[in-house]
Chain A
Amino acid sequence: MTLTSAVATAPRRQSRRGASFRDAGPPVALVVIFGIFAALSPQFRSVDNVQNIVDAAAVLAVVTSGITFVLMMGSIDLSAAGVMGASALTVSLLVANNRNDNDYGLLGIGAAVLLGCAFGCLSGLALVLLKVPSFMATLGVSAIGLGVATLMFAGVQPNITDTMLESWAIERFLGFSYLAWIAAACILVGWLIQRYTRLGRYAFAIGGAEEVLTLSGVRVKPYKVAVFTLAGAFYGLGGVMVTSQLGAGLVQAGDGYDFSAITAAVVGGTLLTGGRGGILHSAVGVLLVMVLTNGLVQVGVSPYWQGGVEGLIVVAAVAAAVIPQRRRNQVVK
């Protein structure tokens, strides 16, 4: 047991060396980009707009929190879109809505999150038991999720009338919407899991050196399944939050979130190779991406240019963030 924990903490200790310098990249990029936009546009630096950026970042932050654990482990997860779609339809059909007489409120929300867990668990089991690479396993689970969502959709869009769920997107506390606070809570919970639980520490260790961990007698499989299940819970909640924002359950609720979450995590300094980064890095990445999309609109960049400009800045930001690592002779794939 002592050996196990020593091995488990080893990669973390290693990654901490020189952390201050390396981890500074994304936050510095965030401050610089924010500064540039603020200088260019008075509307951008208004309080209203900062609230707007934080509100808009809420869903992406929750989804990215989930995906970060998977990426830390060195796996990839493309199931967000499908899981969010299924969860969005589930929650919209379980809370008060225009399709049926259900009115389960919080229970319905809980069910949607649990469904997300189940989908995550499925991805994890396919990975460890059937040895399907996580890329394919999660892509498949995404398709299953979309299929389930389409079945529940059945041609008529469920609109929610549940006042509590609707209020999440509208009501504000200290200037920010409830959704933003929920996202903040998710980041906090994610950080606590990452920092203080065995699950979080093993996720890092699996990404850093899975062989070493296995050789020292740790059964990594249950932890892998648990990480995917945890990620699924975050996607499930993400689907609920989109439903709250849009006031309706959409099959397409999670469209694009899989790749924007991976982008945000990577921009924030979580490496696709695993073993690096973490929840707080990802949170910075999410803010960076949101500041960028919002800022380009605020300074009036033509929509025909935005996609390209955004991609260029993301690549530049990631390149700047990995400058300190370039000297370490790492192979980049």
Chain B
Amino acid sequence: MKSSATIISLSLMAAVLAGCTEEAGGDNAAAESGSCESADVRLVGQVRNESNPYEASWLAGGDAFAQSVGLKQERLTYDGDSTKQQEQISQILAGDTKCLVMNVLPNGDSDTAPIVKGADSAGAYLVTQWNKPADLKPADHKTWLSHITYNGVESGQQIGDALATAIGGSGGIIALQGVLDTAAAKDRFAGLEASLAKNTGVKLLDQQAANFSRAEALTVTKTLLTKHGDNVKGIWAANDDMALGALEALQQAGKAGKVAVVGIDAVPDAVGAVQKGDMTATVSSDGTWQGGIGLAIGYCVATGKLKAADIAADNRAFFAKQFLVTKDNAAGFATPKTNPADFECANVFNRVAGPLT
């Protein structure tokens, strides 16, 4: 009795397993040929959460692209929780993956490998952004089409230079760093150091970590303002949230308008502050474009308009163009919107600023 039950369950299992492999094999074949009907493509955008303007604009950009091809984007958020992100990916990959396109923001470098592995074996088209380990390369994979990121050294330097100009080329500044063990914080600060080497009149009085947080930046800036007093002519912040916290601190210390502030990310409040002249500059990666472009690249390959094998090696992992936002051009960034031309299959790699090495 017992043994027969075992046999039955074993054979059932074998049948199920066989079915699985067969299905997976079929998917792979479809993936390589890229012969999906436009209407069959399934678009998935995954970010950490919708509680910050940047990632909200990312999903909005994905929606805009999906709408332009008559589809709907599935919006996934994982609350900055790596385990949750992997679960969501496995769930998506367990469904129909024949014409699946995913535009994913991995939580951290180490989260990228399992996502790539899953997408590869399921034959799903994948574009990742921001985080990946250096030795993991899209060019070594069939359906991992591209990895997009931004040169933090460049943006850190851009705002450093803008700050130096704003304070007239000489004077003391303070720097607010992000979470110290992240690549973004390290790169952006390296950019500031490069800018300081160039602008010899500018002196870095102090640098403190405020962990990309508006509240921490407020406290730290107030402390630094009491420490260095009127010597502080400018504040360099590794992101806009901290820059906005610094602005509040200046206001509370009665120094609003007397100290130049720069940040990175171009969150709406910061762009507004740049427009009003409260902030000197910020840098935009164009979140709406990021949300759309990953889906667009995947869509073009899935529908056969672009062949994965034809994508230039430099376009498989690249730094995308970023924009310095100053008072002159801030109005254009105040209402971020996507440009449909950016997402046409011939133009999807137009914003490549350089290969990621």
Contact = CB atoms under 8 A, between A and B. Distances in A.
A and B form one complex: yes
Interface residues of B, number: 33
Contacts of B224: 297
A177 to B, nearest CB: 7
Nearest to B53: A157
Interface in B251-282: 251-252, 267-269
Interface stretch (A229-237, A248-256, A280-288): A248-256
Contacts of A306: 209
Nearest to A153: B51
B223 A170 contact: no
Given A251-B51, A297-B227, A306-B209, A157 B268 contact: yes
Interface string A125-155: 0000000000000000000001001100101
Interface stretch (B135-143, B152-160, B213-221): B213-221
A46 interface: yes
Interface residues of A, number: 36
Contacts of A150: 49-51
B197 to A, nearest CB: 20
Contacts of B56: 155-156
Nearest to B251: A170
A157 B269 contact: yes
Interface of A is mostly: helix
B226 A43 contact: yes
B220 A170 contact: no
B226 A52 contact: yes
Contacts of B177: 303
A148 to B, nearest CB: 11
B180 interface: yes
B180 A52 contact: no
Interface stretch (A110-118, A181-189, A239-247): A239-247
B102 interface: no
A146 B51 CA distance: 9
B207 interface: yes
A316 B79 CA distance: 35
A242 B207 CA distance: 24
B60 interface: yes
A159 interface: yes
A150 B78 CA distance: 13
Contacts of A146: 51
B223 A298 contact: yes
Nearest to B220: A297
Contact of B215 (A156, A242, A293, A294): A242
A242 B215 CA distance: 8
Given A55-B222, A169-B252, A303 B51 contact: no
Nearest to B79: A146
B208 interface: yes
A49 interface: yes
A263 to B, nearest CB: 15
27 contacts: A43-B226, A48-B226, A52-B223, A56-B223, A155-B50, A155-B53, A157-B53, A157-B268, A157-B269, A169-B248, A170-B251, A170-B252, A177-B252, A242-B215, A245-B215, A246-B218, A246-B245, A247-B248, A248-B214, A248-B244, A250-B214, A251-B52, A297-B206, A297-B220, A303-B209, A304-B180, A306-B209
- Interchain residue pairs A-B with the least CB separation, the first 3: A155-B56, A251-B51, A303-B209
Given A146-B51, A157-B268, A297-B220, 5 more contacts: A56-B222, A156-B53, A170-B252, A252-B214, A304-B180
